[in-house]
Chains A and B, each alone.
Chain A
Amino acid sequence: SQTIHQWPATLVQPVGSPLSLECTVEGTSNPNLYWYRQAAGRGLQLLFYSVGIGQISSEVPQNLSASRPQDRQFILSSKKLLLSDSGFYLCAWNLEGPYNEQFFGPGTRLTVL
């Protein structure tokens, strides 16, 4: 069966520090991968998605970047965090087209102080 992992689960970082969040999927091949951010009590904002290794589409211009160095690995990064980067970061995957159901990871709760 397929599983999706995210780490760390929680993170507290000072403003201006770098960020690296990792997401890995097991039990499937060539998944579509997504990064979402959810502010407290708010909806899901799509940040990046990827249909294959090295293929990244960005939804919102900001100080975040994403990379997909391996088929089932998706990394979210920042060189300098802002206060507004605080939130709940969710990684998700699905197969074939974007119209298929998405499976979400447990998320990383990031607090920037």
Chain B
Amino acid sequence: GQQVMQIPQYQHVQEGEDFTTYCNSSTTLSNIQWYKQRPGGHPVFLIQLVKSGEVKKQKRLTFQFGEAKKNSSLHITATQTTDVGTYFCAGYDRGSTLGRLYFGRGTQLTVWP
């Protein structure tokens, strides 16, 4: 069945270092979404990628969608303590029976000051 794998599960960085999380799907995705969940909070939508090879930027965050639409990445440049949280990718597979979003397990980011 459909699976979305996300690595790493945990990442600890010092403030100012870069951070990357990777998402891989077992099937071709129609689109992929990224969410951020602060400690104790709920997931908040960050961005959606739809096109093959698409790259989008939000300030220090860069999101990529692979050419085959099976993988994606989120890169944060020069992390800050406000970046702390868990980052989830979620893929939409139009061909799936229920047409639902498949969430990765998330990457929990800790930033040391």
Chain A contacts to B: CB under 8 angstroms: 41-44, 46, 49, 57, 59, 90, 97-99, 101-107
Contacts and interface: CB of A to CB of B under 8 A. Distances in A.
6 contacts: A41-B108, A43-B105, A43-B106, A98-B92, A103-B45, A106-B42
Interface string B21-54: 0000000001101000000011111001000000
A103 B46 CA distance: 11
B103 A44 contact: yes
Contacts of A102: 33, 43, 45, 90, 101
Instruction: Give chain A's interface secondary structure class.
Output: loop
Contact of A97 (B45, B48, B99): B99
B99 A98 contact: yes
Contacts of A101: 33, 45, 48
Contacts of B12: none
Interface size grouping (class) on chain B: 20 to 34
Given A98-B92, A99-B31, A103-B45, A49 B106 contact: no
A36 B43 CA distance: 11
* Max chain A Cβ within 10 angstroms of own Cβ: one of B41, B44, B94, B98: B98
A46 B100 contact: yes
B65 interface: no
Contacts of B94: 99
